[in-house]
Structure 1
Amino acid sequence: MDSIFKFLSKARNISTKIITEHPKKSILLLVLLVAYYFCLPKKLFEPPTATVVESNEGKLLGALIAEDGQWRFPEVDSVPLKFKICITQFEDAYFYKHPGFNPISMFKAIGSNLKAGKTVRGGSTLTQQVIRLSRNGKKRTYWEKTIELILATRLEFRYSKEEILKLYASYAPFGGNVVGLDVAAWRFFGLQAHQLSWAESATLAVLPNAPSLIYPGKNQERLLKKRNRLLQKLFQKGILDSTTYQLALLEKLPQKPYHLPKIAPHLLQYLAKNHKGERIASTIDANLQVNANSILKKHYQNLKQNQVHNAAILVMDVHSRKVLAYVGNTPTDNHHQKDVDMVQANRSTGSTIKPLLYTAMLDAGELLPGMLVPDVPTQISGYTPENYNEDYSGAVEAKKALARSLNIPAVRLLQKYGLQKFRDQLNFFNLKGIDKPADYYGLTLILGGAESSLWDLCKTYASMASTINHFNETSSEYYDKEFSEPIILEEKQIDFGNKSLEKTIFDAGSIYLTFEAMKEVNRPEGQESWEFYDSSKEIAWKTGTSFGNKDAWAVGITKDYVVGVWVGNADGEGRPNVTGVSSAAPILFDVFDVLPKSAWFQKPLDEFVEVEVCRNSGFLATNICPTKTITIPRKNNYVKACHYHRNILLNQNKQFRLNSSCVNVAEAHNESWFVLPPLMEFYYKKSHPTYRPLPPFREDCKNALEPSMEFIYPKNNSRIGLTKNFEGHLNELVLKIAHTKPRSRVFWYLDEKYLGQTTNFHEMGILPPKGKHRITAVDELGNETMVNIQIE
């Protein structure tokens, strides 16, 4: 220890003496040392790089060329072993031993060049070549060589040998506009760098030395000789065994450049907006992406026969919220907007947000799954919704109305629930296309009056599915950040926030019942009897078709995956027969076929409670209706008790109704009867043969005051414009009513003026003049109904 201190003390004394005796030389030396330290730029390379998107397994999905027109990928994070060996053996055999330059190689090169009278040999190490590449454009003179030598030694101090190799592999020229090992591997062999064989690695190793050799069809013999000499050197040094060497010699040289993969071009453009010039590790599953591309391409061949040119697919993992497949459009042409990303495009939602209303009303305690909802001709403040099939059910269970995507029940439910309340709830889902106030959309909001994107719809349903999963996985708890944006970058993880006993927006029970209803949607052709096959997948799914057949949607949900499909024309042109069921659903189920089978959702039992409901109406039970027990979300229930059942008095053979005017009430037979209002009954009994209309009163009984007829068309306070036929004459306004006793005679009046009578089929055509009118219908028993209209 004492000897060390003595040595340090002696060295300090010598340094002090030198500085004291030679101050100018010392200052000069210090300046040179500082200059040497700062002579190397902090960042050696700053050229623009390509935007590169890779799958979650590291496979190349696509790339955008750098701004300077060069195929130059961002710096590699590692150099494959085969290329590392090939490049050091070919360019710099003493790479791991020298300090940045090799004096012996330099002297040999100078001697050879002087003897030949021209440059025939280079003595640069890989480190010096990295410096030369970073000083792009400098003339290759001896003075420049001196500068390179100094900078090379400085580079060796800053970086490790492996880091210097990575810089070389990232910026070495490989012919044409190809820069860097990664691009060269793709362009010349269609492979990733780590997949290259010994022969392929050797070919690329000799190219930076003479990059012009790679042009297809030119200098093939020279390139082959250079490659084989390198392979021979590897064999002689024992790096390659005899078999590997002989097989490597047999490999052919590349004949033409390969195109870079274009597996997810629209995702590439989407990510390039915020990550230009970066190497992006995405969440995409490469195999699934390829399958989705193939599925869409197959269906596009049929769609374009109907002049439908665009479609998109999005697949998400429910648990991680990662995007697994992103197909932004079909392989169409520029004339049909092939570059438009239809995953992000806002389009008319059609019926795709009906499940959100259904869930909202279940969650609010204002709806029961089997509750009857009117499905009759409807006019609300001048708005007349129609079902897609232009037919009516009279009354339909709420869950079946959702499964059949009936428009009129949806509009009636939205009006009952509250347009403004539902519009405010939609803000929670961050559906960016829905950005107008409630009054702007009106009741058309639920039928496609608003716009959204495939991206936003899929993330919404994924969050709903995840709500059920998390509720069952935890102690019946929710996460306060359940409804979050999808994850597209592999490095990111979803943050669900903190656990809470309070629901995020909808409770798990309401969402579960919604998915149960969506599971019953009739599947497209070829999938009708899916439930009878063990291999079939239980999928909650919803279709949507916008007005004019411009947009066709299908969204499917399982415990593990959400798949969304949009089909249409990017320019908004509608086409006949473009519907969610016929155009989008077949693609949806083909995608689910290539996904792993997913179990159905576990029922969130803690969110349910048993209640008694009327078997026929689905409303809360009364003491006069047949009942059944169902489970509903555990919350305050605001659904009314059943009003469709009432007690009636019948004679002994139950043919006629009785009342106190014709019989002693105590002697009559009392029975509960399921009764719908006349208009609902008119349509309901057509598709429900077991429905029993009320029996007529016995002749000696006075008719009770009860509604017996109702206008089907027109509705009260309608504003009507009469159209002309092909001959230029006005078409008649056809009046129509529903009567509980169709055989009754009905007398018609227009503004107190008698028009005529009808029996059995209560319809009458009239031509009223412009202005306000009152239409009255009176049956033979004196029952009366009327509406006010205005002819424009």
Structure 2
Amino acid sequence: MDQRTPPRLRRARAGPRGTFLGTLAGLLFALLLLLVLGLLAAVWLTAQSLPSFREMMRSPQGQSVVIRAADGTELITVGPSFGRWLSYGEIPPHMIAAMTAVEDRRFHWHPGVDPIGTARALLANLRAGRTVQGGSTITQQLARNLFLTNRQTWDRKIREAILALAIERRFTKRAILELYLNRVYFGGGAYGIDAASRKFFGHSAERLSLAEAAIIAGLVKAPSRYAPTADPARARERARIVLATMTDAGILSPAEAGAADVAAVRFAIDAEQGDVRYFTDWVLAELETLTDEATQPLEVTTTLVPAHQEAAEAAVHGRLPGGAQGAIVAMTTDGSVTAMVGGRDYASSTYNRAVAARRQPGSAFKLFVYLAALEHGLTPDDTVIDEPVSFGGWTPRNDNRQHVGPVTLRAAFARSINTVAAQLAARTGFETVASMARRFGITTPLDTRPAISLGASEVTLLELTSAYAAIANGGVEVRPYGIIRVTTASGELLYRREPHTPRVLVAPHVAQHMTALLRAAVEEGTGRAARIGRPLAGKTGTTSSNRDGWFIGFTPELVAGVWIGRDDARAVPGLAGGRAPAQTFQAFMGAALRGVPAGELDTEVAQDPFGLEPDAEVYGLRDNADPTIPAAPEEPLSEAWLDRALAGSEAAAPVEKAP
């Protein structure tokens, strides 16, 4: 349009469409202006109502948590601890740098809310379809810790943002950092960096090294997950991420980051803490997912049975080979965890090997191989030939280098014959075996190459024991849990566990066939040392070069799993699943079930009337055969042959004869 056209004529020629768009734009601008003015007013009013700095310095009462056993016995009381308040000038500069680098890199220029971080987190969450990334600044976290809860709602996020903007208007950046570092929760009941430093390292935060500061800075993201009291290895790994982030931000040079030796940091552990803390630490992590209550004292009733816990501690402590660690977990067939021991001594190592350690299960993984075969139509009485086999260049070997020819599945499972397990896995498909393990709750990465049939992939003791519990439960899913009920100290019910609708994992006849195989392994096979004079099913596992020993088993009343090995994965001389782990299992189950009437295992498969004599896991995964153990003879096998095979072995304690 000619610029010389009068404005009134130009507007007339624009027509109704132009008038509407102009009106809409004006309304949107007015609405935006009102929102901005409303936000400014809300921030101003909030800033005026904020407590003074001195009032916010006062340590809160904090929340105490009483954890009780199933019978109401108090196990521990976890309460907050507060160290000395450190002024900004007393806080080590590398502590401040580590915290801002990992939690809020743009802290020094944003007004309390970081639009870049918020947009990035929103985009990541939209892509994932769930919350995978947070965009809260340090100021927002402080606002949440001081005035709000952790409930994930839009209303709370809006109030958090307004509070953060108000705090930034009222206080300086230095004051905000001082408040934050003295008030934020770092796990293990520690609030503030001084309490955290004293709890985890045994000294004031004024003396924090760079490596120690990186550990503390890494805890804020998930205190229960990364706290050294819960998982020292994970705390160190998280600290390395913090140091890398500081390097990426230009705060540290690569040489400075490399000189911060996280592995050399030593944690201070309270020697008064008993081994039940393995269980209570696990429960505290579970508690965070069950309630948002963050101020009222809590009473938590758990599934732990004191007699079972006492039996588990005695069994583990009395049978660990020199230099080895051990773990045991017990549960009922509804997933109720009744006992847990995660190591030789909680006071010297809080690392929970029952829950966090990932180790190769060896022949204990054959559960999934045989389940896949049974589901594909085989039965315990079907015959497979024990002979040399090879799969794509991989050749499984029986430890004694012997082959017995035709053998039933029952006999092969009882003796833990590797070549048969490999053939069954190849017949059903190695992917099928991995899928079966996933179906039964194994979440660790699984390598689907042929060696999966012999337990080459890693699992956790808790997950593997849960899988065996599902067989004891007739093929129905079992989800382990530790908390029955959560109430406030005044009696208000916050959480009660309700029975879930479990999935049927395999048909009942498959579970019954599998139970028959597991029973054969105990009564006539590699697990004989675990026998307790009542119906029992279970399986041994031994990994290459005697690095890990396992026994997982169950009666109708109780399921338990045992792992023994070294944290550095070095060989343990004489270790085999049928020796120390089976004996530990026997000691635990014998004590835990004392006085409990014996039930009958659910199996429709008749037991083989002929002895299936094993060789104390000579068919395991060890690299070299023990020349002192005689090779399996031709049929018939005899009780005397097994006794000779076990004689002279470190693990060959006298085996009680089956009643």
What TM-score results when the alignment is normalised by the length of structure 2? 0.49
Structure in which a larger fraction of residues adopt strand: 1
What TM-score results when the alignment is normalised by the length of structure 1? 0.41
Structure in which a larger fraction of residues adopt helix: 2
Larger radius of gyration: 1
The structure with higher relative contact order (CA 8 Å, sep 6+) is: 2
